[in-house]
Chain A
Amino acid sequence: MSAPAEVLSESQEEPDYLAVESGIWSWLNTRDHKRIGVMFLAAVTGMFLLGGVFALAVRTELLTPNRTIMDATTYDRMFTLHGVTMVWLFLVPSIPTSFGNFLLPLQLGARDLAFPKLNLMSFYTFVLGALITFGGMLAGGTDTGWTFYAPYADSTPTDVVPVIIGIFILGMSSIFSGINFIATTHLMRARGLRWRNMPLFVWTIYGTSVIMVLATPVLAMALALVGLDHALQLGIFDPAVGGDPVLFQHIFWFYSHPAVYIMILPGMGVISEVVTTFAHRRLSSYVAVAVSTLGIAFVGFLTWGHHMFVSGMSTFDAGVFGIMSMFVAIFSAIKVFTWTGTLYRGQIVVRTPLIYFFGFLFLFVFGGMTGVALATQSLDVHWTDTYFVVAHFHFIMVGGSVTAFLAAAHYWFPKMFGRLYNERFGMLAATAVFIGFVLTFFPQFLLGNMGMPRRYYAYPPRFQFLHVLSTGGAWLLAGAVLLALGNLLVALRWGRRSPANPWHSRGFEWLTPSPPPKHNFAATPVLDFSPYDYSMTEEEARERAASR
């Protein structure tokens, strides 16, 4: 636990965190949450691009009903690589470890996270886990899909153990970061900052951290068991020696369904920040968003069985899991109404992050509603394990989380690097991301309706038209993402200097200069007002934070 932040005298000008030290070592050995956040951002963006390359390989293979560019085993490894990379190396850590790391202390008025060394350790644990996972993938590869369903994972001729060890280690990184965020939120809030005034991004990072800390050990257990089963033939999931093949699915989804909320909750936090900033008004209901965040975090633990309606579970269980899933949907719906209502009578300035907000709103509502459809048991029987499910979770994961990630990258880019990106290219890329996305994944709903099962290398020719459409969309989406990231990369070096608060937000993180000084605030601020109070001018908010 670090000591209470010492108050710096206001005359003391501190250089920003990027300029204060230089050299590789000053980055690799830093304990500054901002630098660690930037390193995480670079790492997860790299993982996102790698996962995208694997996705393109998969989509390209699916252009024709039989072999296009690779054989069946390579294809199976490729979709496993895509799933493992995107889920554990990108989506789970993406927003919390990069933007969460960077912004949580700034939004709480703190100088750093509660455990700066643990934070650095989390980064190196992530790197180690990523290296082992990719090492295992390159050495032998595994073909089980990211779900590692037993007993197939017990008997697959490919080598699952290194990949499982890698994911196990990545889980430790999640837990380290989760503990750090929880402790920081409880202990490091600035004077006057009550829970009911905390920024919503902090609420969602907090909810996410609770899920990470509670659920990740269950994933570790499931993966350890399946790894031992594979390596030593223990037979935990093998019925021939008394094991239970369905048990794995229960344990796995007990983590992996809440993990869906690990992936989407931070995105919801980003969207809440973006919509209030660009509408320049208070969220239409702060309480609704905060309460529904905790509601999702809690009820999300009770819905895992909806992945298993055709696994032979009893009809009673299926009924309970079905109705629980409906409750999660209600919490998400409350959020959607709140965001939309926030636009009403606002002073709306349209910038790139707001374009991503629209993409998010439509894609998340449609993806979420198809989730409700999937939780309707009799319909799930036809849809489960088909492209309908693939489309549904890509609407949530790509349409929701990735869109929110890109929104965050644009929204906080001036905060992190003190530069402005090119709005015109930014908006163009955001629109192209939306169109490419819809073109990629909307046909997959129809493929699922037709009965195209997922993880198919070869498929009956009647599915080809929609597959070609989807592959075309995937290439467009890839181009749009590259345009968006390229635009930011160019701005990193050549962008115009940004003022401290380019969006005229009232968010606490914008009270300091952009980029922030090493210790965030010249003096510990007093945050006894709402970060969404647009009845104050910027100067009034600044003065109020500085008073004591």
Chain B
Amino acid sequence: MNLHLGPSRQAAVNELFRRMLFLPPQSSTMASDLDHLHYFVISTTMAGATMVGLLALYWVFKYRARGEVTARSEPAPTSPPWFEWLLGAGLLGLFCLWWLIGYMQYVRLRVPPANSLDVYVTAKQWMWKFAYPDGQSSVASLYVPTGRPIRVLLTSRDVIHSFFVPDFRIKQDALPGRYTVAWFEVSQPGTHQVLCAEFCGSGHSIMRGQVVALDPADYARWLAAGSGEQVVGGLGEQPEPPLAQVGGPSLPGPATVEPASEEEFPRAQMVNLVRVGTQAAAQQGCLRCHTLDGTPHIGPTWAGMYLSRVPLATGETVVADEAYLTESMMDPTAKIHAGYAPVMPSYHGLLAAPETAAIVELIKSLRDVPGRTEPPAEPNPRAPAAPAGAIGRAYQPEPVLPLQQVTPPKPSPPAEQQGLPPPGLQPNPLPAGSIHITGPDGRRHTVPSAVPVPEATP
């Protein structure tokens, strides 16, 4: 709508409608398109209701009974039949037009662009946690670079929540046990409120957060500063330790793991639980004893495990279905795999429900990986680490973050140490588009916008 107006007039009309309808600022790239449909639909709605109401009032006035009501022959039909059909068809056409535009926009809202930056969002009663692919994490504040599509992968650790950013016109439920996806792109630096939109208990209304959109350069500096700085959205809640530390720093295994790059997992699979499962299995230390490629280790390999017949220490066999796999995580000594020592601790209470589901999904995905053979005759706790297989490679204990050097290595400004960089208010010490990152391979990368996750060379 308003296509015939000049750009400035159009902007002025847009602003007028936006303020009349009390809509929040249009801070995402999709917001203004959605609002234009909103203006169209709501204006028609208001006009339709008012017209029907006024017509009824006019007729009541015009045809009010004067004196005694009399019996009389039926008045002429209100309108010719073709008029009724035209009205009905026109209205249906209008509704279908709204549906068509709305549906196309909905598909745009639901399908993230290919070059998105991923952020994992975990909702729990009553806070938001944001985990970045390179191991950063934050509570309540989601830092994103401007000018780049951000794909949020949402899950919940308890009940259903809903990730709602009014300024972006997006909302997506966060469900326990599965991942859902939403995306947005911010063009200007700024802060935008995150609200929970699905009732989740007594803290529902204070389950708030914020999206802090940073200049790409500021974002890169925030990334480099490490995950130690968390911003708690003024709710008086204590931040929980970031996800990366859940495994506990004392474990020798990798506390965090870099998610597999897109080449290893085709795009179609990225949203599924397998990827979550790989991350959880690495974080929880599962992969210190179990391998993914068939190599015997402290515990049985997961390759080819799903639905295979597992010989038990008691001499019976059991089919490794979801129930058995889950039981083996929560009560590992109940049914010991023949040939392995009962050394596994129970993960009951350590694995969150969605993580359990995700690990089961991971094991299911490995069903056709060859390599599951008879268990070794004796427990072999000193078996060498798995060779770098296609999947196993990502889990080798490596230094946590490849961001080792950022040039120039200036200290962060004080405001940023408090976790609240006032974006756009400070002169930017780094010229945008010239961040140099040295990866572990020694190559230098120039990253115009953020997400510096250089490939680890084997």
Contacts and interface: CB of A to CB of B under 8 A. Distances in A.
Contacts of B205: 72, 453, 455-459
B337 interface: no
Interface string B121-139: 0000000000000000000
B105 A378 contact: yes
Nearest to A145: B199
A241 B326 CA distance: 8
A238 B202 CA distance: 20
Contacts of A349: 64-65, 69
A76 B92 CA distance: 40
Contacts of A447: 22
Interface stretch (B44-52, B386-394, B414-422): B44-52
Interface string B170-196: 111101111010000000000001011
Contact of A373 (B45, B69, B199, B203): B45
B57 interface: yes
A350 interface: yes
B98 interface: yes
Interface stretch (A113-121, A149-157, A165-173): A149-157
B169 A382 contact: yes
Contacts of B178: 239, 312
A310 interface: yes
A414 B376 CA distance: 91
A449 interface: yes
B162 interface: yes
Nearest to B33: A378
B193 A460 contact: yes
Contacts of B48: 365, 369
B162 A310 contact: yes
Nearest to A370: B45
Contacts of A370: 42, 45
A340 B56 contact: yes
A42 B444 CA distance: 81
B106 A152 contact: no
Contacts of A246: 175
Interface stretch (B72-80, B260-268, B401-409): B72-80
Contacts of B203: 72
Contact of A449 (B21, B55, B102): B21
Given A451-B24, A451-B164, A534-B71, A385 B103 contact: no
Nearest to A450: B22
A248 to B, nearest CB: 10
A27 interface: no
B87 interface: yes
Contact of A329 (B95, B104, B106): B95
A246 B178 CA distance: 10
For A312, A365, A457, which residue has the most chain B Cβ atoms within 10 angstroms? A312
A149 B160 contact: yes
B442 interface: no
A155 B158 contact: yes
Interface in B94-109: 95-96, 98-99, 101-109
A375 to B, nearest CB: 7
A297 to B, nearest CB: 19
A449 B60 CA distance: 35
Interface string A321-360: 0110010011001101100111111111110001000100
Contacts of B105: 377-378
B159 A152 contact: yes
A240 interface: yes
A143 interface: yes
Contacts of B72: 534-535
A310 B198 CA distance: 10
Interface string A454-486: 111111100000100000000000000000000
Nearest to B31: A382
B12 interface: no
Contacts of A459: 205
B335 interface: no
Contact of A385 (B65, B79, B162): B162
B69 A504 contact: yes
Nearest to B105: A378
B400 interface: no
Contact of A312 (B24, B172, B353): B172
B78 A284 contact: yes
Nearest to A235: B353
A478 to B, nearest CB: 24
B411 interface: no
B41 A379 contact: yes
Contacts of B84: 285, 337
Contact of B24 (A241, A346, A375, A450): A450
A341 B52 contact: no
Contact of B171 (A72, A310, A342, A455): A310
A311 B49 CA distance: 31
A346 B199 contact: no
Nearest to A238: B353
Interface stretch (A28-36, A90-98, A131-139, A275-283): A275-283
A272 interface: no
Contacts of B208: 460
A372 B75 CA distance: 34
Nearest to B59: A343
A366 B46 contact: yes
A312 B102 contact: no
13 contacts: A143-B202, A144-B199, A312-B175, A334-B88, A342-B78, A344-B78, A347-B65, A348-B59, A369-B49, A377-B106, A378-B102, A454-B199, A460-B193
The 4 closest A-B pairs by CB, nearest first: A239-B177, A451-B166, A240-B353, A378-B105
Given A378-B103, A451-B193, A455-B204, 20 more contacts: A143-B202, A152-B159, A240-B354, A315-B107, A330-B91, A337-B84, A344-B63, A345-B76, A345-B78, A347-B65, A362-B53, A366-B45, A373-B98, A376-B98, A379-B38, A379-B41, A381-B109, A385-B197, A458-B206, A540-B71
Interface of B: 21-24, 34, 37-38, 41-42, 44-46, 48-50, 52-53, 55-57, 59-60, 63-65, 69-79, 84, 87-88, 91-92, 95-96, 98-99, 101-111, 158-160, 162, 164, 166-167, 169-173, 175-178, 180, 193, 195-206, 208, 322, 326, 353-354, 356-357
